[in-house]
Structure 1
Amino acid sequence: MKYSSFVLVLVLTAGLAFLVSRPFGQIPPLAPLLDPYHGFWQNSFSEDQLAEDELSMNNLTGPVEVVYDENLIPHIFAQNDLDLYRAQGYITAKHRLWQMEFQTMAAAGRVSEIVGPIAIDLDRMTRRKGLAFGAELGFKFLQEKDPETLSLVEAYADGVNQYIAQLTDARLPVEYKILNYRPEPWSAYKSLLLLKYMSDMLVGDRDLEYSNLRKILGEAGLNRLYPDFPKENDPVIEKERVWDFQPVTVNKPDSIAYPDDALTMGVLPQPTEGTGSNNWAVSGSKAKNGNPILANDPHLSLNLPSLWYSMQLSTPEHSVKGATLPGALGVISGFNEHIAWGVTNATRDTRDWYKITFKDDARNSYKYGSEWKATDFRIEEIKIKGEKAFIDTVVYTHYGPVVYDRTFKTDRQDVNFALRWVVHEGSNEQRTFLMMNKAKNHGDYQAALDHYSAPAQNFVFASKSGDVAMRIQGKFPLKWAQQGKFLMDGADPMMEWQGYIPNEHNASTLNPPRGFVSSANQHPVDPSYPYYVFDHTFEHYRNRRLNRRLTELNQITVEDMKGLQFDNYNLQAAEALPVMINLLGTHQVESAEAEKYLNELKSWDYFADPSKKGQTLYSIWFAETAESIWRDLMKNEVPLVRPTNYQTIELMTGSPNDPIFDIKGTDRIETAASHVQIGFDSLLVAMKKWEVEEGDYSWANYKKTTIQHLVPTFKSFSATNIYTGGGSGILNATGSRHGASWRMVVELGETMQAFGIYPGGQSGNPGSKFYDNFISVWANGEYLNFNLRSKEQTEGVLFKTVFKKD
């Protein structure tokens, strides 16, 4: 205990020293922070040292038992749902309170209350996007249409608040002590806000960039460099799927006038490259034991505390286990006694931008067809720690909030753009997961998904009865071809969405003949699907590697599925590197360094294992080559998005002498080979610098995977330089800051066999041994046994707590 306290002192001292040197709000009073009875010393205990055999809790109808296993995973046993979710709220808050509150304050645009004026622009942007507005509509939706779900969400909030009410200064999470504030009461609204926050993390749009590209390249040039479908399309739903429904008719205008004068509008933050996921399920016919096997590994930012918190939730009617989101009810990715399910991001364009023409500077009305529609004004009071509040006025149209206007993020006075987003419509995603937790068959799975709107997800499914399925679920606007790809004129009623694709028409498959279903953020369908589908971020490599392996494999075991989640094969490199080496020719290979690097590349097996040097060399060489190819295009002083790596390699391979490779302003005509050579020269420069400063250029040392605390400046609470492989476009998609945030494999036999792991630990307390104890297990591609357990089991029990009604 003394050792852990000493380490924590060093950690906090480093953190405080950094805070003093940065404009990060007010420094907390040191006396309370250093108080041995209430300060940070009290955060040096692990949870098993503070275990309580019995606790009183208000509003319970019966006793609730919580059994913690050796990894601090709680198994909650209650007699009914209200008691179950009340206890879930209490237990989650007990271990992740600061994280829960911090994430919802970020979602509400309230970070400035904690850290001061440094976060004001972040808060303004969050509020102007309308996340809180969307959560308010979600809360109203539950009040009016689903009071049963609302009662469960309120029970969860009650559990959180009962924990907060008994929280002493000594037990206060250390982040509150450092940042000098206290938790506020939880609410059902905050749980809904958290789910809107997930939508914001996972949904992007490039309407502005594509509008600029259309103006610069023209229609033909844009379609050539940015095709809607790749040459080799291996979609989520198998190509053989027959769409056996009559699609809803979508009317396209005879003529379309796009806004052409807004090339400098601001750009919303986009999901970071590397964010994605894999999921799949194989049927019993392909499995050694004759049982379906399901796997899921969402790829998100790697943070501490982890995004996920593992739990088992049990009543006499059901038992479910898996990954929960602190702040939300139930299990998000997991299994019960009958089924298993998992999620990946469906990467669909559900955010569109409309140019608003106001009648005058008062902005009380805007043009819509031959009329003027009235606006609404939402006053946003942003409280700032240590300063007076900032008042922001956001104009709302029937499309949504005017995010960009004369007051925010633009150097023009005539730019007004409203955001249309399904998040701004009432929905009930929480009900989806509550129903899925209890589902017994494919019909139950379908019924649960009918309540789900955003963010769009690929829901994989498997059941003990033998079914495997995939459904791409979200509230998808009905659009004519190309609608929403570019900025639209809000004054033209023909630019409106024409409703939504019916749930029963959302792309799905059940027990396909190939014997598996899978998704890896690729195109959802092939061109035969009768509705317009677009996104700018579809994956082109992980999906093909995954489907090839699932096709090749037979007599599949759980170990095979674990290996596939940790698969480091770089398909992009396998397709691009031979082309690059051929185009390089003999350029610069006379130097010893060039010869060494080239030989390492030629002998590389395309696996991005942590010890491999070829992966490091390839990643630098390809990045520098692509940068050289598209430098002329990206020089345009307006926001643009570069062609995909897939399209870049396709051009290098099939059209190496294409005029697209010629560099403007030079005396010669450049080809793909010219850029490959420029990229190789840049590789030599980069490696010379790296070998002098760092030495070792094995892949793990080069990419330096870091699991970062949610407050980036709290570096001492982060885990750095984790020795693991993988990377972007690889099934084990572990980059420097992103990767598999949760891995789960379930075999659905007579007795469920489940395994799971995530990069962190159950505790949100940096002073606990359970804060980051999963990281080495995760980094090595290993798993915890994740089977369902009964409350009578004694093996591996860390401690038990019984809640009794007060």
Structure 2
Amino acid sequence: MTQTRVFPRRFVLRAAAGTAAATMMANSGSAVASLAGQQWQLTREPGGARHLKVGWDEWAVPTVSAKDEFDVTYGVGYVQARTNAREILDIYGRARGGAAALWGPDYLAEDEFTIQLGLHTKTDLWTRAQKPKTLARVRAFCEGFNAACSENAELGGDRREILPVTPRDIIAHLLRASTRFTTLDSQGLAFPPDQFTNTVGSNGWAVSGGRSTTGHAMLVINPHLVWRGYQRFFEMRTRHPGRDFHGVTLLGLPWQQMGYSPAVGWGHTVNPVPNMSVYDLNLSGNRYLYNGRQRRLKVTEHRVEVRGAEPVTVVERHSVHGPVVTAPDGTDVAVRIAGVLHHPATSALESWWRLSFATSVQELFKVHDGAPLPLFNMIAADALGSIGALYCGTPPVRAHGDFDDSKRRLPGDDPKWLWRRVHQASRMPRVINPESGWVQNCNETPWLYTDPPLPAEDWPSAIAPSVDQVDDFRPIASRRWLKAQKKISPEQLLGLKFSKRALLADVVLDELLAAATGETDLEDAVQVLTAWDRRANQDSEGYVLFYLWSMQNLSGIGDKTLFRCAAEPGGLPTGLADPAAAVATLRDAKAILLGTGAPLDASVGQVVSLGDGPDAIPGDGGSGLVGVLKAFEIMPTADGFKKVLGDTWVSLVQFRPVGETTAESVLVYGNATEPGAPPSKSQYAVWASDRLRT
């Protein structure tokens, strides 16, 4: 809980109009930083009449209170700088597209991405599209951030060249993050694939008042993202008359993207909305064929300075379809990205602000329909007992083909494949108060939000995968559990979220062991997996071997060729289609594991730790690929294993009549990265023990 004792000295922050200057008028920043659990009283000038309060709890989660929205967002900028200035300045530097000139060749790929997709021009478009009041709030955030950095010359470290930050930096960051999420490309059609592409996602659950043992709605918010960079979250509560909201924002954005008020709450999961289309151009020099005629690419050369190296020329190319990039296989392709680069959802930032004022699930969805987000699912609940799920975005209107066309290269010469319109947000799939009394999503198709599934034929075609294209075991584990419950308590719902059972093992392990028995070189592996408890607890010996075997069968799990059959679309598969091939990949997994120097019976807690130094604790949780809902993704390296991504913010919200809503949360990696930030207790141990902060 935040302590209410007021720090006895007042800090007056002088922010001259239109500038980023600020001067500390009382104690030093280091004195302030020692005051976790206290309140800071700030006066924002000009005039000295606008007061803010910042209260810090023992986890360095701030509550920013003020008289209006502009002072609140000023305070948000201030506290983000005090806790994460260097991380945020690094993010802004990448978003500007000139990071290599400041920080060297390691940043050149980021600059190339920005230039080749034309993000400089699109940032200008997005900035011009913001409402005046949106920009005023963003400007106040920048003033607060710059003020904190001005008063403390240590903040930001070796990234202070970026200062002062401006509203354009925030919009550029939002656009870049949206573009990065939208261009996740597991098949390498246009961008380098990543084996964890399909794991960047999240879980979300909502239970209605009628299905809950409390008689009130419950919500679990559970995004899984990378624990650093533009995907890292910051937790805060912000309050001014008419708005009281607790949640998380991506570092460097000025208000929350998910969370809860006393009346309503929502979480996001990454959805499979097919915003990106990839076109094969068959280039001849800078010419391509379209609709029976030769056309020229629009080509612009950019000279990119690189610190410590020679300048590099980066070529920006555009066809009638969109930006042209060179795919990993060397093919030149064009990309067209709905909601981001084409028919952009420039309302996203304002939408998140307006969502926080909603008083019901129905109102949340209405806000989105008027100010859409470019992607994500929304899982929501409210104090009236209602729940709902919404497929956010404005995907392309495709005159031809189906959803699978978003997973292949389209003929760039045929105009029938070039979409020119997007669907209205109001036409996207949704469900409110289903008969089942629950909604859920683990990044799969929206048709499986609840049970029975939503009828896909009731919604526009080609906007989502079919129910038989579920490509990991999380949604199967989630839906099986929910369907088996008559009533659901808060403790049971949290237990589902922290489930570490590897459902894939229940499907394949017995047959894998039977097929591997008798293979002399696999006797030890068979012994390890026979003794394994089929979980991903920190001490579950054998999990890492099974996980590596699963990674060797990644494509077979995704397209279901690993299995004999599935009982029903979206249901649980049965058995191994080719036991001999499965044994061969077990042999590969054993070699990979031993090659890292880890023992064959390694648990996740043996190969990866959470935290540093004497406070480090064993890792816990596992991969969604195998059906573990407590997300913790690792990967082998030449000298061991490294953390990749996993649970970030977990929040269990128990709604009550307005004013009595309660919540418990944990931000796994903590709220601060900056040296000299307000001290805080580590949250790793809370999460590792399957608990939330109380």
TM-score under structure 2 length normalisation: 0.81
User: In the alignment, is the contact (CA less than 8 A) between 1:46 and 1:767 conserved in 2?
Assistant: no
User: In the alignment, is the contact (CA less than 8 A) between 1:89 and 1:159 conserved in 2?
Assistant: yes
Code of the residue aligned with 2:538 in structure 1: it is P
Alpha-carbon distance in 2 for matches of 1:333, 1:742: 10
User: In the alignment, is the contact (CA less than 8 A) between 2:93 and 2:99 conserved in 1?
Assistant: yes
Alpha-carbon distance in 2 for matches of 1:95, 1:623: 36
Cα deviation digits, residues 120-151 of structure 1 (max 9, x gap): 23421342133444332211222xxx222222
Tell me which residue corresponds to 1:456.
375
Match of 2:224 among 296, 299, 306: 299
- How far did residue 535 of structure 1 move? 6.1
- How far did residue 372 of structure 1 move? 6.0
Say which SS state the counterpart of residue 484 (structure 1) adopts.
helix
* Pair 1:546-2:470 in alignment: no
User: In the alignment, is the contact (CA less than 8 A) between 2:91 and 2:229 conserved in 1?
Assistant: no
Tell me which residue corresponds to 1:517.
439
Tell me which residue corresponds to 1:731.
629
- How far did residue 206 of structure 1 move? 5.1
User: In the alignment, is the contact (CA less than 8 A) between 1:198 and 1:455 conserved in 2?
Assistant: no
- How far did residue 332 of structure 1 move? 1.4
Aligned length: 628
- How far did residue 566 of structure 1 move? 1.0
Alpha-carbon distance in 2 for matches of 1:280, 1:671: 33
Q: Compared with structure 1, are the counterparts of its residues 386 and 200 closer, same or farther at alpha carbon in structure 2 (3 Å cutoff)?
A: same
User: In the alignment, is the contact (CA less than 8 A) between 1:108 and 1:127 conserved in 2?
Assistant: no
Alpha-carbon distance in 2 for matches of 1:509, 1:395: 42
Match of 1:152 among 115, 128, 137: 137
Tell me which residue corresponds to 1:631.
none
Cα deviation digits, residues 714-742 of structure 1 (max 9, x gap): xx899977431222331112122211011
Tell me which residue corresponds to 2:544.
616
* Pair 1:759-2:668 in alignment: yes
Say which SS state the counterpart of residue 215 (structure 2) adopts.
coil
User: In the alignment, is the contact (CA less than 8 A) between 1:82 and 1:155 conserved in 2?
Assistant: yes
Alpha-carbon distance in 2 for matches of 1:684, 1:391: 45
Report which stretch shifted further, 276-285 or 496-505.
496-505
Tell me which residue corresponds to 2:462.
532
Cα deviation digits, residues 698-720 of structure 1 (max 9, x gap): 4224552567xxxxxxxx89997
Alpha-carbon distance in 1 for matches of 2:386, 2:677: 42
Code of the residue aligned with 2:601 in structure 1: it is Y
Tell me which residue corresponds to 1:436.
355
Q: Compared with structure 1, are the counterparts of its residues 619 and 370 closer, same or farther at alpha carbon in structure 2 (3 Å cutoff)?
A: closer
Matches within 5 A, 1:43-192: 47-48=33-34, 53-59=40-46, 62-142=50-130, 146-168=131-153, 171-176=154-159, 182-192=161-171
Q: Compared with structure 1, are the counterparts of its residues 447 and 159 closer, same or farther at alpha carbon in structure 2 (3 Å cutoff)?
A: farther
Q: Compared with structure 1, are the counterparts of its residues 724 and 292 closer, same or farther at alpha carbon in structure 2 (3 Å cutoff)?
A: same
User: In the alignment, is the contact (CA less than 8 A) between 2:255 and 2:353 conserved in 1?
Assistant: yes
Q: Compared with structure 1, are the counterparts of its residues 306 and 717 closer, same or farther at alpha carbon in structure 2 (3 Å cutoff)?
A: farther
User: In the alignment, is the contact (CA less than 8 A) between 1:760 and 1:771 conserved in 2?
Assistant: no
Match of 2:519 among 588, 596, 616: 588
Code of the residue aligned with 2:682 in structure 1: it is N
Code of the residue aligned with 1:461 in structure 2: it is A
- How far did residue 306 of structure 1 move? 8.0
Code of the residue aligned with 2:361 in structure 1: it is H
Alpha-carbon distance in 1 for matches of 2:360, 2:92: 34
Alpha-carbon distance in 1 for matches of 2:592, 2:409: 39
* Pair 1:331-2:250 in alignment: no
Tell me which residue corresponds to 2:561.
648
- Per chain length, whose mean CA-contact separation is higher, i.e. which structure has more relative contact order (CA < 8 Å, sep 6+)? 1
| Unmatched 5+ stretches in structure 2 | 1-27, 448-454, 568-575, 635-643
Q: Compared with structure 1, are the counterparts of its residues 671 and 398 closer, same or farther at alpha carbon in structure 2 (3 Å cutoff)?
A: closer
Q: Compared with structure 1, are the counterparts of its residues 96 and 141 closer, same or farther at alpha carbon in structure 2 (3 Å cutoff)?
A: same
Tell me which residue corresponds to 1:483.
405
Q: Compared with structure 1, are the counterparts of its residues 512 and 342 closer, same or farther at alpha carbon in structure 2 (3 Å cutoff)?
A: same
- How far did residue 645 of structure 1 move? 4.3
Q: Compared with structure 1, are the counterparts of its residues 689 and 389 closer, same or farther at alpha carbon in structure 2 (3 Å cutoff)?
A: closer
Alpha-carbon distance in 2 for matches of 1:643, 1:527: 26
Match of 2:491 among 559, 566, 576: 559
Alpha-carbon distance in 1 for matches of 2:323, 2:220: 39
* Pair 1:672-2:578 in alignment: yes
User: In the alignment, is the contact (CA less than 8 A) between 2:622 and 2:630 conserved in 1?
Assistant: yes
User: In the alignment, is the contact (CA less than 8 A) between 1:109 and 1:123 conserved in 2?
Assistant: yes
Q: Compared with structure 1, are the counterparts of its residues 91 and 676 closer, same or farther at alpha carbon in structure 2 (3 Å cutoff)?
A: closer
Bigger Cα Rg: 1
Match of 1:417 among 324, 328, 333: 333
Tell me which residue corresponds to 1:257.
none
User: In the alignment, is the contact (CA less than 8 A) between 1:295 and 1:745 conserved in 2?
Assistant: yes
Code of the residue aligned with 1:448 in structure 2: it is V
Tell me which residue corresponds to 2:306.
384
Cα deviation digits, residues 206-247 of structure 1 (max 9, x gap): 59767xxxxxxxxxxxxxxxxxxxxxxxxxxxxxxxxxxxxx
Alpha-carbon distance in 2 for matches of 1:344, 1:463: 18
Alpha-carbon distance in 1 for matches of 2:243, 2:669: 28
- How far did residue 401 of structure 1 move? 1.4
Q: Compared with structure 1, are the counterparts of its residues 599 and 420 closer, same or farther at alpha carbon in structure 2 (3 Å cutoff)?
A: same
RMSD (Å) for aligned C-alpha atoms: 3.5
Alpha-carbon distance in 2 for matches of 1:717, 1:139: 44
Code of the residue aligned with 1:619 in structure 2: it is Y
* Pair 1:749-2:656 in alignment: yes
Q: Compared with structure 1, are the counterparts of its residues 305 and 197 closer, same or farther at alpha carbon in structure 2 (3 Å cutoff)?
A: closer
Alpha-carbon distance in 2 for matches of 1:499, 1:516: 34
Report which stretch shifted further, 395-404 or 695-704.
695-704
Code of the residue aligned with 2:534 in structure 1: it is Y
User: In the alignment, is the contact (CA less than 8 A) between 1:352 and 1:484 conserved in 2?
Assistant: yes
Tell me which residue corresponds to 2:637.
none
User: In the alignment, is the contact (CA less than 8 A) between 1:202 and 1:347 conserved in 2?
Assistant: no
Q: Compared with structure 1, are the counterparts of its residues 601 and 117 closer, same or farther at alpha carbon in structure 2 (3 Å cutoff)?
A: closer
Cα deviation digits, residues 592-634 of structure 1 (max 9, x gap): x71x64345335442221211242332244445x38xxxxxxx
Alpha-carbon distance in 1 for matches of 2:477, 2:432: 22
Q: Compared with structure 1, are the counterparts of its residues 459 and 717 closer, same or farther at alpha carbon in structure 2 (3 Å cutoff)?
A: farther
Say which SS state the counterpart of residue 583 (structure 2) adopts.
helix
Tell me which residue corresponds to 1:697.
601
Q: Compared with structure 1, are the counterparts of its residues 209 and 55 closer, same or farther at alpha carbon in structure 2 (3 Å cutoff)?
A: closer
Code of the residue aligned with 1:739 in structure 2: it is G
Cα deviation digits, residues 269-288 of structure 1 (max 9, x gap): 68635322100100011211
User: In the alignment, is the contact (CA less than 8 A) between 1:351 and 1:420 conserved in 2?
Assistant: yes
Identical aligned residues as a percent: 19
Alpha-carbon distance in 2 for matches of 1:615, 1:428: 44
* Pair 1:574-2:513 in alignment: no
Alpha-carbon distance in 2 for matches of 1:336, 1:471: 19
User: In the alignment, is the contact (CA less than 8 A) between 2:511 and 2:579 conserved in 1?
Assistant: no
Alpha-carbon distance in 2 for matches of 1:455, 1:649: 34
Cα deviation digits, residues 284-327 of structure 1 (max 9, x gap): 11211101000011111123898111111111112001112222
Code of the residue aligned with 1:172 in structure 2: it is L
Alpha-carbon distance in 1 for matches of 2:231, 2:185: 29
- How far did residue 369 of structure 1 move? 2.1
Q: Compared with structure 1, are the counterparts of its residues 370 and 689 closer, same or farther at alpha carbon in structure 2 (3 Å cutoff)?
A: closer
Cα deviation digits, residues 24-53 of structure 1 (max 9, x gap): xxxxxxxxxxxxxxxxxx999882259895
Code of the residue aligned with 1:745 in structure 2: it is L
Tell me which residue corresponds to 2:682.
773
User: In the alignment, is the contact (CA less than 8 A) between 2:498 and 2:690 conserved in 1?
Assistant: yes
TM-score under structure 1 length normalisation: 0.71
Tell me which residue corresponds to 1:319.
244
